[in-house]
Structure 1
Amino acid sequence: MDKTRQERYNLIYGNTARKMEAEPVRPEPERRKKKVRHKARPKTSARTRQNQQKAMQIDFAFIRVLIAAVVIVTAVSLFYLSERAKLVEQREELSDKREQLNTLQVENEDLNLEIEQSIDLDQIEKTAKKYGMKEPDSSHIIHYDSTDVEYVRQYDDIPDAD
């Protein structure tokens, strides 16, 4: 086990080749011939042979069961394929509807941007003054403090601040 690297890989160092020792000749083991014994089969009776032939024949009941199984497997396969086709069709339809939704959302965003850009606050102020409206004074402003800061729901008229 503890061989050196030189011994392990049979390395030769130097510039001359050494003579290799011849491997000892191993005697070949004699091959033993196996004796094959044939057992005599017991003779089968005529009734046993008839039963074996009968078992080998395919009877009508077996054919009916086989045909029924093939029909059932075919029906289940066709049902599966039709349901699979419906599923693929529904997925395609869903994909089309999503594309439509995305298109409509983009159009809606564009229209909202257009509406926001079309509002001219100076024009609104001029029109309001034309109809006799004016900016409220500090006495006309009523401040309302809400505990719920998200929204305000008005159930009744706001009382006067007198």
Structure 2
Amino acid sequence: MAAGRTSKRQTAAYSRRSNPQSMYVYGNAVPKPEYTPEREPEKRRRDPQHTRRSRQIRQNQRKALKVNKGYVIFLTVAAVLALVICVNYVRLQSQITSRSRNITAMQEELADMKEENTTKYNTIMDSVNLEEVRDKAINELGMVYADKDQIVEYDNPNGDYVKQYEEIPDDGMLASSKDVQN
């Protein structure tokens, strides 16, 4: 297809157009439409009240941009206070972290000690044979089991723990109502 020749499709597109604004262009080089920007009306640009307002607006903006000493002092104090709070926060976080590590180390040490104690206790309990103890007590030391008449039962109304300071009477009663004086 030669550069000067147009295809049937292109000629059909050109012939269908009704106005020059809606021209269909093939390719990637589309021309930009020509237009002129609308201008501001002359009376608004030269309005003295408008220039006075804009002058006041500019003055107000300059005043707003100025910073007085009180505001600077306030900002400085606020920044220092924020810095102190942040430093304290970081220090407290550091203390919490170190204490947490210390607690973890102590818990591990406690677990090791408990395991060691349990192992030693089990070793001791396994090494003691109660039959050997009974045989040694009866055969070597001459110990015998108590008879029924040698056993004294005692009723303790206060609890299970008894501390004996004197001999228990034969009847098993330490005090009775006849011994109490009014």
For the residue of structure 2 that corresponds to 1:43, the secondary structure is helix
Counterpart of 1:135 in structure 2: which amino acid?
Answer: Y
Question: For each residue in 1:9-43, what CA deviation from the matched residue of structure 2 results, as whole angstroms up to 9, or x when unmatched?
Answer: xxxxxxxxxxxxxxxxxxxxxxxxxxx99695372
More displaced stretch, 67-76 vs 77-86:
67-76
Matched, 1:159 2:168: yes
Counterpart of 2:115 in structure 1: which amino acid?
Answer: V
- Report deviation, 1:147: 5.4
2:129 to 120, 123, 130: 120
For the residue of structure 2 that corresponds to 1:82, the secondary structure is helix
User: Which residue in the other structure is 2:65 paired with?
Assistant: 56
Identical positions, percent: 21
Aligned equivalents of 1:60 and 1:89: distance in 2? 43
> Equivalences for 1:35-50 in 2 at 5 Å?
41=50, 43-44=52-53
Whichever structure has more helix as a proportion of its residues is 2
- Report deviation, 1:66: 1.5
Over 3 Å counting, the alpha-carbon distance change for 1:133 and 1:110 in structure 2 is same
> Is there any run of 5+ residues in structure 2 with no aligned partner, and where?
1-40, 172-182
RMSD (CA atoms): 3.2
> Equivalences for 1:1-162 in 2 at 5 Å?
41=50, 43-44=52-53, 52-129=61-138, 130-146=140-156, 151-161=160-170
More displaced stretch, 108-117 vs 129-138:
129-138
Aligned equivalents of 2:157 and 2:164: distance in 1? 16
- Report deviation, 1:89: 0.9
TM-score by length of structure 1 reads 0.61
Question: For each residue in 1:96-115, what CA deviation from the matched residue of structure 2 results, as whole angstroms up to 9, or x when unmatched?
Answer: 11111111112111111111
For the residue of structure 1 that corresponds to 2:50, the secondary structure is coil
Aligned equivalents of 2:54 and 2:122: distance in 1? 100
Question: Rg larger in 1 or in 2?
Answer: 2
- Report deviation, 1:84: 0.7
Counterpart of 1:86 in structure 2: which amino acid?
Answer: Q
